[in-house]
């Protein structure tokens, strides 16, 4: 079974979003360690998500991208868009089938800058305009809370204008500050938008279902209709090399302990997590795409 890895390449960030859960002071794996990690485990990995902090704040992010390019490991890089010119330069010689960019937008220019810092919208918007004119595979993500719920429509309109698809997350790890009715309104607005944008019926069904599962879990403590696959097919590596099944659970150790070999670490993670549920959108979507998840949706 191949794994999808979420790698926090750095936990540094130039912004200070109020809902951020990342410890900005963490040490980082060195580039030779990242190289060794991917060379050693290449045949067991099918995708890497580069995240942070802000990945572009890592001084040698171009080398990290180079390692993935050399090993032909498909990746997604999540960014706030601040240093987008450098990113576009690093990606220039990579086939667009091998990477994607995810850009965070938190609202209209005023809301986004209030939450993320003055000038941050303009930088992210410039990246989106560049993406819209090129063939770079990308998406926008908005993280919704009561601070920006009034701005969701603006972001969906932006997505239609720049022709970059948009998905919605709800703020993780905190009691919800919007009620179930507000969450349903957001989901319905997204479904109307997704039809206009031209998402496939299956994509609309999956994303709407993912958001409903988060709503029902947060407000009604209703469990997911399928098990989480975070312990079997997903792995989280923190910037300092700590490794665990997901961002929610504590790490089981540091990858240096296994000399950068993921197989023995995975063996230690193989405990039964049936009965473990949370509000983590990404893992819900991944689990939904698994065989058991898919069948539970269409039955
Ligand atoms: S841009 Fe991302 S990493 Fe940086 S403060 Fe905001 S949420 Fe945290
Ligand atoms: S349900 Fe949540 S906490 Fe449990 S393994 Fe999955 S992602 Fe982690």
Tens-place pLDDT, residues 6-33: 999 999 998 888 778 788 788 999 999 9
The residue ranking higher by pLDDT, 95 or 125, is: 125
pLDDT score for 213: 96
Cβ burial, residue 27 (10 Å; 0-12/13-18/19+): exposed
pLDDT score for 77: 97
Least confident of 48-62, 90-104, 234-248, 260-274: 260-274
Question: How confident is the model over 130-136, as a mean pLDDT?
Answer: 87
**What's the CA-to-centroid distance between 3 and ligand 2, angstroms?**
16
**What's the CA-to-centroid distance between 249 and ligand 2, angstroms?**
7
**Pocket flag, ligand 1, residue 17 (CB < 6 Å):** yes
**What's the CA-to-centroid distance between 146 and ligand 2, angstroms?**
25
pLDDT score for 26: 83
Percent of the chain with pLDDT over 70: 97
Least confident of 12-16, 58-62, 67-71, 84-88: 12-16
Ligand 2 atom nearest the C-alpha of 273 is: 5
Give 293's pLDDT tier (boundaries 50, 70, 90): confident
pLDDT score for 132: 85
Residue 183 has pLDDT above 80, yes or no: yes
Sorted by where each starts, the structural domains of the chain and their CATH numbers stand as: 3-298 (3.20.20.70)
Least confident of 184-188, 248-252, 254-258: 248-252
Cβ burial, residue 170 (10 Å; 0-12/13-18/19+): buried
Going by CA atoms, what residue is nearest to atom 5 of ligand 2?
A: 230
Q: Is 140 strand, coil or helix?
A: strand
**What's the CA-to-centroid distance between 15 and ligand 1, angstroms?**
6
Mean pLDDT score across all residues of the chain: 92
Give 271's pLDDT tier (boundaries 50, 70, 90): low
Neighbours of 189 (CB within 10 A): 14
Neighbours of 208 (CB within 10 A): 16
**What's the CA-to-centroid distance between 275 and ligand 2, angstroms?**
9
Chain mean position to CA 94: 21
**Pocket flag, ligand 2, residue 214 (CB < 6 Å):** no
**What's the CA-to-centroid distance between 280 and ligand 2, angstroms?**
7
Question: How confident is the model over 265-288, as a mean pLDDT?
Answer: 84
Residue 212 has pLDDT above 70, yes or no: yes
Question: How confident is the model over 94-118, as a mean pLDDT?
Answer: 94
pLDDT score for 78: 97
**Pocket flag, ligand 1, residue 245 (CB < 6 Å):** no
Structure tokens at 105: 């937008």
The helix-helix angle for 201-220 and 291-298 (nearest 10°) equals 90
Cβ atoms of residues 180 and 205 within 8 Å: no
Question: How confident is the model over 241-256, as a mean pLDDT?
Answer: 94
Structure tokens at 160: 């239609």
**Pocket flag, ligand 2, residue 246 (CB < 6 Å):** yes
State the first-to-last Cα distance of the chain, in angstroms, to the nearest integer: 25
Give 135's pLDDT tier (boundaries 50, 70, 90): confident
Q: Which residues have C-beta within 8 Å of that of residue 296, sequence separation ≥ 6? A: 225, 226
Percent of the chain with pLDDT over 90: 74
pTM: 0.93
Ligand 1 atom nearest the C-alpha of 104 is: 1
Structure tokens at 17: 């979003």
The residue ranking higher by pLDDT, 92 or 45, is: 45
Nearest ligand to the CA of 234 is 2
């Amino acid at each position: 079974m191949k794994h999808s890895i979420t790698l926090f390449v750095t936990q540094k960030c130039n912004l200070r979003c109020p809902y951020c859960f990342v410890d900005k002071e963490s040490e980082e794996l060195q580039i030779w360690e990242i190289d060794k990690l991917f060379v050693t485990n290449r045949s067991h990995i099918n995708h890497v998500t580069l995240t942070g902090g802000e990945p572009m704040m890592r001084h040698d992010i171009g080398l990290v991208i180079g390692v993935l390019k050399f090993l032909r490991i498909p990746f997604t890089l999540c960014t706030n868009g601040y240093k987008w010119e450098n990113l576009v330069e690093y990606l220039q010689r990579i086939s667009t089938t091998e990477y994607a960019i995810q850009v965070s937008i938190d609202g209209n220019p005023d809301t986004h800058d209030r939450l993320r810092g003055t000038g941050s919208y303009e930088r992210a918007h410039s990246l989106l305009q560049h993406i819209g004119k090129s063939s770079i595979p990308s998406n926008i993500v908005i993280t919704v809370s009561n601070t920006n719920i009034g701005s969701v429509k603006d972001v969906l309109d932006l997505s239609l204008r720049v022709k970059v698809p948009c998905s919605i997350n709800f703020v993780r790890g905190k009691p919800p500050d919007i009620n179930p009715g507000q969450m349903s309104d957001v989901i319905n607005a997204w479904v109307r938008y997704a039809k206009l944008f031209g998402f496939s019926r299956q994509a609309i069904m999956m994303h709407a279902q993912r958001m409903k599962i988060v709503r029902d879990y947060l407000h009604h403590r209703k469990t997911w209709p399928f098990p989480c696959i975070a312990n079997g097919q997903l792995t989280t590596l923190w910037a300092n090399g700590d490794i665990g099944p997901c961002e929610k659970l504590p790490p089981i150790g540091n990858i240096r302990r296994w000399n950068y070999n993921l197989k023995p670490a995975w063996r230690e993670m193989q405990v039964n997590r049936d009965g473990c549920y949370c509000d983590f959108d990404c893992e819900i979507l991944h689990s939904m795409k698994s065989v058991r998840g898919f069948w539970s949706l269409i039955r």
